[in-house]
Chains A and B, each alone.
Chain A
Amino acid sequence: MSPQHGSQPIQHQFNPYSDNGGTLLGIAGEDFAILASDTRQSVDYSINTRLSHKIKVISPPVTKEMKLESTDIVGTKNSVLFGTNGFSADGDALTKAFEENWKWYVHDQNSNVETGFEFLNENNEEKESFMSMQSAARNVQHLLYGKRFFPYYVHTILAGLDEEGKGCVYSFDPVGSYEREQCRVGGAGASLIMPFLDNQVNFKNQYIPGTNSTERRKIEYLSLDECLKLVKDAFTSVTERHITVGDGLEIFIIDKNGVRSEYHALKKD
């Protein structure tokens, strides 16, 4: 073996990461959840593209009946809204890896039990099953932690409906620590928007007038309409003050009718 291999460390000045900017935001409501992101992808001081997609709707097939209900449906109520923000190549790779897992999981869940092995399916149910948000989140943790020492450099947020049909948002750090939350912002605008959401969604620092800061304002679920207003205001505001955020806003909304999406233009400067 030649001397260049072995004891000597390989010298590299290659940096395998880059920061592609942008912001990702998730809010859970009572019977819906929202996942939104800007559509700019940038590096350093340049804009790569004004229209990139940081959120993937991972969904079982949308049936014709669902399309009849509403034409703009892009996923079923059993979808996982999967958003990543940070180093876009890792974000894409993570999304793809999860999608693969999701497909196999759903396939395995629904595959027919072989004759003679019916006892594995106690009630011999025919009902179609999907991946719960809880399971999806745990799977993402494994994917992220699996690269603990060469991490996916992304902030990940999942949104969907839990097993009771309630809106839920899960957020992850780059190596897989995660939590279910009412709302979360990831990426460049996180430090600008998160305090705003704490105040407007969880009513932090708000007291009932007349109680002299002794009684906190009671937490209540916000309506979808109210949440969408907050999301739009959050993004137009962060566009004003953060240079890597702008161009467009993509919002995905999941509720019992399925997933639909909205697009709004943001400032391009």
Chain B
Amino acid sequence: MNHDPYSWGRPSDAMYGQYNNAIANAPNTLEHHSSGSNFNENTTRPIVTGTSVIAIKYKTGVVIAADNLASYGSLLRFQGIERLHKVGKTTVVGISGDVSDMQHLLTILDQLEMENNYDNDEYSDNVDELQPSYIFEYLANLMYHRRSKMNPLWNALIVSGVDSKTGKPFLEYVNLLGVKYASPSIATGFGSHLAIPLLRKLADSEEEAAELTLEQAKKGIKDSMKVLFYRDTRSSKNYSLAVIDKDTGIAYDNNVDVEDMSWKFAKDITGYGTQRV
């Protein structure tokens, strides 16, 4: 294993590429690129990024959250970026990673929704309405296709929702490599290290998730967002939280703040070892 603590618990290099300090010093236009090598910047590394998305299933739905920050390297760049997106009637897609690639995905999802709307009203063929599983399948194929062209969309996505026909909660993950999986609780990036241990204490299996109440699930997500704000340097206090429930539909709050933090003990800590005052 890698003994360097800097690589412990960091999003793996394989997933996000090696952190490049040049990001903060990057020129604004491609023409100024000093080395003279011209290549598609976005496929090589992410530029403006969003950190973790976290989600958990409960008895009748899913709770999902992501903060509203977009970072430019270590710079806090945009504070009002929305990373949870409603698609169709019962799906929310949470996106972390490169923000421009995210916005590209959104235009694609918009088109997908629009096409579906044409065929899904009383005047037309009335085909299936978009289900979370359809949207996930589409995105997973897209992500794998792009990685296979060696031109990935630098994101990790969580598709959450409920199937409007069966009422079953849906939660799946796919990333820039096309790797996908389902689990009672899912998180991207730092969240997979910090939030997942907490969420798995609530529900480690589908059976346990089917016993969770909305309140328990919501509290688990809120506590996890607090820990992420404590410990992830690229996170923000302000975040969005969405609940997708089979009975009440999508309830969505894009202005939640981390609450009940405790920093008081810090006043008693001085120095880094022997210092007394």
Q: How far is the CA of A49 from the CA of B172 in the complex (A)?
A: 10
Q: How far is the CB of A203 from chain B (nearest CB, A)?
A: 38
Q: How far is the CB of B205 from chain A (nearest CB, A)?
A: 7
The reply to whether the CB of A17 lies closer than 8 angstroms to some CB of chain B is yes
Q: Which residues of chain A are within 8 angstroms of B12 by Cβ–Cβ distance?
A: 18, 43-44
The reply to whether the CB of A260 lies closer than 8 angstroms to some CB of chain B is no
CB pair B37–A93 under 8 Å, yes or no, is no
CB pair B39–A14 under 8 Å, yes or no, is no
CB pair B204–A43 under 8 Å, yes or no, is no
Q: How far is the CA of A17 from the CA of B179 in the complex (A)?
A: 9
CB pair A41–B18 under 8 Å, yes or no, is no
The reply to whether the CB of B206 lies closer than 8 angstroms to some CB of chain A is yes
CB pair A17–B205 under 8 Å, yes or no, is no
Interface string of A43-73 (1 = CB under 8 A from B): 1111011111000000000000000000000
Q: How far is the CA of A15 from the CA of B176 in the complex (A)?
A: 10
Interface string of A142-180 (1 = CB under 8 A from B): 000000001000000000000000000000000000000
Interface residues on A, range: 20 to 34
Q: How far is the CA of A117 from the CA of B76 in the complex (A)?
A: 72
Q: How far is the CB of A11 from chain B (nearest CB, A)?
A: 5
The reply to whether the CB of A116 lies closer than 8 angstroms to some CB of chain B is no
CB pair B44–A46 under 8 Å, yes or no, is no
Q: How far is the CA of A93 from the CA of B144 in the complex (A)?
A: 9
Q: How far is the CB of B62 from chain A (nearest CB, A)?
A: 15
Kindly count the residue-residue contacts between A and B in the assembled complex, taking CB atoms under 8 Å apart.
84
Determine which of A8, A16, A52 lies in contact with B147 in the assembled complex, contact meaning CB atoms within 8 Å: A16
Q: How far is the CA of A12 from the CA of B173 in the complex (A)?
A: 25
Q: How far is the CB of A27 from chain B (nearest CB, A)?
A: 27
Known: A4-B38, A44-B12, A48-B183. A13 touches B205 (CB 8 A): no
CB pair A14–B17 under 8 Å, yes or no, is yes
Q: Which residues of chain B are within 8 angstroms of A48 by Cβ–Cβ distance?
A: 173, 179, 181, 183, 192
CB pair B14–A11 under 8 Å, yes or no, is no
CB pair B17–A18 under 8 Å, yes or no, is no
Q: How far is the CA of A46 from the CA of B192 in the complex (A)?
A: 8
Interface string of B215-251 (1 = CB under 8 A from A): 0000000000000000000000000000000000000
The reply to whether the CB of A3 lies closer than 8 angstroms to some CB of chain B is yes
**Residue in chain B with minimal CB distance to A5:** B38
The reply to whether the CB of A20 lies closer than 8 angstroms to some CB of chain B is yes
The reply to whether the CB of A38 lies closer than 8 angstroms to some CB of chain B is no
Determine which of A3, A11, A12, A89 lies in contact with B179 in the assembled complex, contact meaning CB atoms within 8 Å: A89
Q: Which residues of chain A are within 8 angstroms of B147 by Cβ–Cβ distance?
A: 16, 89
Q: How far is the CB of A73 from chain B (nearest CB, A)?
A: 23
Interface string of A90-102 (1 = CB under 8 A from B): 0011000000000
Known: A46-B192, A89-B178, A93-B144. A15 touches B205 (CB 8 A): no
Q: Which residues of chain B are within 8 angstroms of A17 by Cβ–Cβ distance?
A: 14, 177
The reply to whether the CB of B269 lies closer than 8 angstroms to some CB of chain A is no
From DSSP, what is the main secondary structure of chain A's interface residues? loop
CB pair A51–B178 under 8 Å, yes or no, is no
Q: Which residues of chain B are within 8 angstroms of A16 by Cβ–Cβ distance?
A: 147-148, 150, 152, 177
Q: How far is the CA of A14 from the CA of B45 in the complex (A)?
A: 8
CB pair A49–B182 under 8 Å, yes or no, is yes
CB pair A43–B15 under 8 Å, yes or no, is yes
CB pair B192–A93 under 8 Å, yes or no, is no
Q: How far is the CB of A189 from chain B (nearest CB, A)?
A: 18
The reply to whether the CB of B193 lies closer than 8 angstroms to some CB of chain A is yes
Determine which of B37, B150, B173, B206 lies in contact with A14 in the assembled complex, contact meaning CB atoms within 8 Å: B150
Q: Which residues of chain A are within 8 angstroms of B168 by Cβ–Cβ distance?
A: none
CB pair A92–B44 under 8 Å, yes or no, is no
The reply to whether the CB of B59 lies closer than 8 angstroms to some CB of chain A is no
Q: How far is the CB of B277 from chain A (nearest CB, A)?
A: 40
Q: Which residues of chain A are within 8 angstroms of B45 by Cβ–Cβ distance?
A: 13
Known: A43-B12, A89-B144, A89-B178. A12 touches B44 (CB 8 A): yes
Determine which of B43, B44, B179 lies in contact with A18 in the assembled complex, contact meaning CB atoms within 8 Å: B179
Taking beta carbons and an 8 Å cutoff, which residues of B are in contact with A? 1, 12, 14-15, 17-18, 37-40, 43-45, 144, 147-148, 150, 152, 173, 177-183, 192-193, 196, 204-206
List 26 A-B residue pairs with CB atoms under 8 Å apart, sorted by A's residue number.
A4-B38, A10-B39, A11-B44, A12-B150, A13-B44, A13-B45, A14-B17, A14-B43, A16-B148, A16-B150, A17-B14, A18-B14, A18-B177, A45-B1, A48-B179, A49-B181, A50-B183, A50-B204, A50-B205, A87-B177, A88-B179, A89-B147, A89-B177, A89-B180, A92-B180, A93-B144
Taking beta carbons and an 8 Å cutoff, which residues of A are in contact with B? 2-4, 8, 10-18, 20, 41, 43-46, 48-52, 87-89, 92-93, 150, 268
Counting from the closest, the 6 A-B pairs by CB-CB distance are A4-B38, A89-B178, A49-B183, A49-B181, A44-B12, A89-B179
